[in-house]
Amino acid sequence: MNDIGDIIKMLAKEAVEGDKPVSVVTGEVIDDEELIVETEQKLQLTESFFIISQRFENHVWNKGDKLLLIRCDGGQKYVILDILPEKKEEEEE
């Protein structure tokens, strides 16, 4: 067993996880008039938190839309990656 190698791997892993430059999270549109999204961590994000790509520039958001988000800059900005499909009843069981 290479102790120094294991220590280096552990330190590198902790450094990457500690910085968390980006992470993928999900959220749900809770206000479609002002675009407020609640993340799985119960954070409520207003439109100013989002980087909205051209793909979603003129999109009409609906309350209940489930979004796939990329968290950037330590949580200061979120990129809307996609809208998740609704689960079918048999998938939930």
Q: Average pLDDT for consecutive 10-residue bins of the chain (93 residues)?
A: 69 66 90 95 95 90 95 85 80 56
Residue 18 is predicted with a pLDDT of: 60
Residue 38 is predicted with a pLDDT of: 98
CATH code of 53's domain: 2.40.50.140
Host domain of residue 63: 21-85
Residue 76 is predicted with a pLDDT of: 86
Instruction: Output DSSP code: residue 1.
Output: -
Domain total of the chain: 1
With a CB cutoff of 8 Å and minimum separation 6, the contacts of 77 are: 49, 50, 51, 71
Domain annotation covers residue 30: yes
